[in-house]
Amino acid sequence: MKARQRILRGAAANFGSLATRIAAQFLTLPILFASWEAERVGAWLLLFALPAYFGFVSAGFSGAGGTAAVAAHEKGDVAQARAHFRSSWIIATAATLVLAALFPLAVAHAGDAVAALQSVPPDTLKQTLFALAIYIVATSQVAALEIPFRAVGRYADHIAFNSASILAEIVVIAVSVSLSDDIATLATALAATRIAAAIWIAAQARRTAPAMFHGPSSRLGSSTRSLMLPSLALMLLPLVHGLNLQGYVMVIGISSGAILLAGFVATRTLTRLLDLFTSFSFSMQFYESTHLDPEDLETRRRLLAVVTILAACIAVAFSAALLVFGDLAQRIFTRAQAPFDPEVASVLLLAAGLRALAAAPFAMIAAANRHSTTVTWYFIASLAGLILAASLADRGFALPLVLAPIVFAELFQLLPAFRGALRMSNLGAGEFVASLFSRDRIGDVAWALRELRRSR
């Protein structure tokens, strides 16, 4: 596949994924609130927070394994690409199985102490946890299956298949909650849907890249050793996002109960719409940066400047719009059961804006496997911030102050990422700031618009 065709397919798939996530964000909560009371919705959100968190583990191994598989495949070494896929698949599955086994034990043990779960009957809680553990394992399989598609330049197909599975889950949620108010029934239905998605995507992967599934695996040992460190670093990134997103769901759910938790998640859902742009920006740059010539510093500099300007403009515009219309939007999709808090939204928007600004530099260093230091600092700051937030919540501080450590944590991704990206681009901080206001940026935007018109 030609580079331009791959990029355009990737952009289309990522735009489709963006639309799917917007649909999921806007439809899921209204569907839940339409059939369940706020307390039951809050309990479900708390239970589903950890599976979403653990499901990120396999993404780290598939990310690093995919990068290595692309490099090997482009060199014509299909056996090495296959080894990278299989070793990543094995490691991701093993790690996720351990987490899936620990998840129900941990939540069941702590269930009596969690305010948001006290309304859930013990038998229902056990059934729900078992089903969600299966969901975790199936999710890891879907993530690992990205590697065969990516190795042959068809990562857009995997993105599209995953988007289709998300849409199917929205339908399953709507049907389940309309027919039953049992949380375990919903969890079981989602687990079955995710298993079906994994089987379907595996069949498509075999058809698209059969060489990745058939052949010897004698290089698994060396592949595993080479992928372990970059995989662990990339694995930490979504885990950190889990700390900064789902971790605060746990803190608020434990300290404040289900009703306040439902209101917080509703506000966070609105602010996280900005994260959809961040995800799109990072995904496109991460997938395609491996194809850039390392010696072409000018392209890297222009790309970094243009995406930074775009991220800043979108973050400011989105924040202003949400602060004006957020109350109306939240009343609509929660059926006026969860009021909009502009102070909480402001803190979450600031954190989301910093994540958006960090997407371009982090994608650049991650594609070169130079992300370990940045991720380490980000993880330490996020963990410290979550501990501080838990302490503040336990002492009864207001919710905006409890959420403030998120901003602190996001700075520890933004600053190291920019430092690494500027070093890769052989560019000083002052030179980079000056480039943001250069007339050349107008030309870059005009070029991008011409390319988009040509692609229609």
Report residue 249's pLDDT band, with 50, 70 and 90 as the boundaries. confident
pLDDT digits (tens, 9 = 90+) for 259-270: 777 778 888 888
Q: Which letter, b or e, does each residue of 295-310 get, where b requires 16 or more Cβ atoms within 10 Å of its Cβ?
A: eeeeebbbbbbbbbbb
247-251, 271-275, 405-409, 442-446: which is most confident: 405-409
In Å, what is the CA distance from 436 to each residue of 28, 201, 297, 439, 451? 39, 42, 16, 9, 21
How far apart CA 359 and CA 280 sit, in angstroms, is 9
Range with the lowest mean pLDDT among 220-229, 280-289, 416-425?
Answer: 220-229
The residue ranking higher by pLDDT, 91 or 212, is 212
Residues 6+ apart with CB under 8 A from 236: 60, 375, 376, 378, 379
pLDDT in tens, 378-408: 999 999 999 999 999 988 898 899 999 999 9
Residue 195 pLDDT more than 70?
A: yes
- Distance in angstroms (rounded) separating the CA atoms of residues 456 and 350: 35
Is residue 415 very low, low, confident or very high in pLDDT (cuts 50, 70, 90)? very high
At 423 the pLDDT is: 93
Per-residue model confidence (pLDDT) at position 327: 86
d(CA 434, CA 306): 12
Residue range 83-93: mean pLDDT, rounded: 85
Q: Give the total residue count for the chain.
A: 456
In which band, very low, low, confident or very high, does the pLDDT at 456 lie, cut at 50, 70 and 90? Answer: very low
CA distance 39 to 43: 6
Q: Does residue 424 surpass a pLDDT of 70?
A: yes
DSSP one-letter code for 116: G
Q: Looking at residue 114, what is its pLDDT?
A: 57
Helix (H, G, I), strand (E, B) or coil at 427: coil
Rounded CA separation 410/114 (Å): 28
Alpha helices in 272-369 (DSSP H): 273-289, 297-333, 342-367
Contacts made by residues 370-373, CB under 8 angstroms, sequence distance 24+: 370/420, 370/424, 371/230, 371/233, 371/234, 371/237, 371/420, 372/229, 372/230, 372/233, 373/416, 373/420
Residue with the bigger pLDDT between 230 and 324: it is 324
Best-predicted range by mean pLDDT among 22-26, 278-282, 336-340, 419-423?
Answer: 419-423
Mention every residue, 6+ apart, whose C-beta is less than 8 A from residue 55. Answer: 96, 135, 136, 139, 140, 143
| 337 class by beta-carbon count within 10 Å (0-12 exposed, 13-18 middle, 19+ buried) | middle
Please, which residues have CB within 8 angstroms of residue 182's CB and are 6 or more apart in sequence? 124
b/e map 128-158, b = 16+ CB within 10 Å: bbbbbbbbbbbbbbbbbbbbbbbbbbbbbbb
Report in angstroms the alpha-carbon separations of 412 from 9, 385, 389, 392, 415: 33, 11, 17, 21, 6
pTM for the full predicted model = 0.75
Tell me the C-alpha to C-alpha distance, in Å, between residue 335 and each of 12, 28, 38.
33, 13, 11
Mean pLDDT of 194-219: 90
pLDDT of residue 413: 94
Give the separation between CA 248 and CA 260, rounded to whole angstroms: 12
Mean pLDDT for the stretch of residues 126-132:
88
Query: What pLDDT score does 174 carry?
Result: 94
DSSP for residue 439: T
Find the mean pLDDT for residues 25-44.
Answer: 85
pLDDT given for residue 5 in this prediction: 78
Mean pLDDT across 211-233: 77
Percent of the chain with pLDDT over 90: 31
Could you count the other beta carbons within 10 Å of the beta carbon of residue 174?
17
